[in-house]
């Protein structure tokens, strides 16, 4: 099974959990369309049919994912890029 990129999965989980928490604070009501879309996408992405199971799977996958690679800053004006070593 293909898995989503950890950064994409993290963004989906964070956004869904934020919306769910905000809606829970307002009281019982139907999920807004964005929350329903996120729940569906999480289920498809994790191969599950229930958003609770999707979140469990997503959290497990994210815990096992390698740490994100930090991008280096681009050289500023006046700085030279390093010359690559010949092969």
The number of residues making up the chain comes to: 87
Burial of 16 (0-12, 13-18, 19+ CB in 10 A): buried
Res 83: pLDDT: 63
For residue range 33-79, list pLDDT tens digits in order: 999 999 999 999 999 999 999 999 999 999 998 876 665 556 566 66
More confident position, 12 or 31: 12
Q: Rounded to the nearest 10 degrees, what angle do helices 33-46 and 6-26 cross at?
A: 140
Distance CA 47, CA 35 (A): 18
Residue 22 reports pLDDT greater than 80: yes
Q: Is the pTM of this model over 0.75?
A: no
């Amino acid at each position: 099974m293909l898995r989503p990129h950890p950064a994409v999965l993290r963004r989906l989980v964070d956004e869904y959990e934020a919306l769910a928490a905000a809606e829970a604070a307002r009281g019982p009501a139907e999920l807004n369309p964005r929350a329903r879309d996120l729940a569906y996408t999480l289920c498809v992405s994790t191969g599950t049919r229930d958003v609770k199971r999707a979140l469990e799977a997503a959290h497990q996958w994210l815990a096992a994912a390698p740490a994100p690679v930090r991008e280096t800053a681009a050289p500023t004006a006046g700085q030279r890029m390093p010359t690559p070593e010949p092969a």
